């Protein structure tokens, strides 16, 4: 094999190559139906959901949570910036005879004519800087009704940085490998990740790299207040229990627009 003949192409979320790999090989456990159903009572309680609510599932991916909310009788809209994921979401939704509106778009740029009473993130709340987070929270605040609620899951940097570095190499088909690497960037307070698809036969390689910031709870609270949220609670992740910053890997955040 002559490595000098390799062709390296960039990819990212929403790109056909990356999305196909996720759909075929990397659907995570938190999208499993049993896992989702188990946590619906938690969402219903902490968000005080009613049949009058209009929910936005932001970063909905293939619509696993969107469909479960719909099955429970809630009015829900799915939003994602990957047309590949939305196509899969619509296909599954139609096969289950559910009627759900899916919208193509980036939640960092959301601007809906009709606000939502609930904006929901599950495994899709990402930001690259403190300033970027404040802008995102402002966007969310402006797209909520006066009594609106925001929900998202956040990593605990105290624990998260202890879990790195991570390296995983898997063969997804003969002579085609996927490499995932991640390390914690202490100076910038977040994780740097690299995803690569290596095809030894065609010598076409793909690379995606990205950064996710994880602010500590106190700084996250400051950003929430700056964006206008003054009523919020931190729970142990997906449990109605108090968050322990020294031991819990992550936490659930519920904010109410006052």
The mean of the pLDDT values for the chain is 95
Q: What is the CA radius of gyration of the chain?
A: 19
**pLDDT tens digits, 142-154:** 999 999 999 999 9
Percent of the chain whose pLDDT exceeds 70: 97
126/212 Cα distance (integer angstroms): 6
Q: pTM score, two decimals?
A: 0.94
Q: Which of 4-18, 124-138, 159-173, 207-221 has the lowest mean pLDDT?
A: 4-18
38/87 Cα distance (integer angstroms): 26
Of 176, 169, 173, nearest to 200 by C-alpha is: 176
Longest Cα separation, the chain: 62
> What pLDDT score was predicted for residue 6?
87
Instruction: Collapse the DSSP code of 98 into the 3-class scheme (helix H, G, I; strand E, B; otherwise coil) and give the result.
Output: coil
CB 240 within 8 A of CB 147: no
Position 2 pLDDT exceeds 60? no
CB atoms closer than 10 angstroms to residue 190: 22
């Amino acid at each position: 094999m002559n490595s000098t003949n390799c062709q390296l192409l960039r990819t990212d979320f929403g790109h056909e190559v990356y999305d196909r790999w996720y759909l075929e090989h990397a659907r995570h456990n938190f999208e499993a139906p049993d896992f989702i159903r188990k946590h619906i009572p938690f969402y219903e309680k902490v968000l005080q959901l009613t049949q009058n609510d209009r929910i936005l599932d932001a970063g909905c991916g293939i619509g696993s949570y969107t469909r479960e909310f719909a099955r429970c009788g809630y009015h829900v809209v799915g939003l994602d910036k990957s047309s590949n994921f939305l196509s899969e979401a619509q296909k599954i939704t139609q096969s289950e005879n559910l009627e759900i509106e899916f919208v193509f778009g980036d939640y960092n740029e959301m601007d809906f004519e009709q606000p939502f009473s609930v904006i929901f993130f599950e495994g899709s709340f990402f930001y690259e800087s403190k300033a970027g987070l404040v802008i995102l929270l402002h966007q969310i605040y402006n797209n909520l009704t006066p009594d609106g609620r925001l929900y998202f899951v956040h990593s605990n940097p105290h624990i998260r940085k202890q879990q790195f570095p991570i390296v995983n190499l898997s063969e997804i088909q003969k002579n085609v490998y996927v490499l995932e690497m991640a390390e914690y960037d202490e100076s910038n307070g977040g994780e740097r990740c690299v995803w690569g698809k290596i095809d030894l036969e065609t010598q076409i390689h793909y690379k995606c790299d990205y950064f996710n910031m994880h602010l500590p709870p106190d700084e996250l609270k400051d950003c929430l207040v700056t964006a206008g949220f003054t009523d919020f609670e931190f729970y142990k992740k997906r449990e109605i229990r108090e968050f322990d910053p020294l031991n819990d890997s992550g936490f659930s955040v519920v904010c109410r627009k006052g």
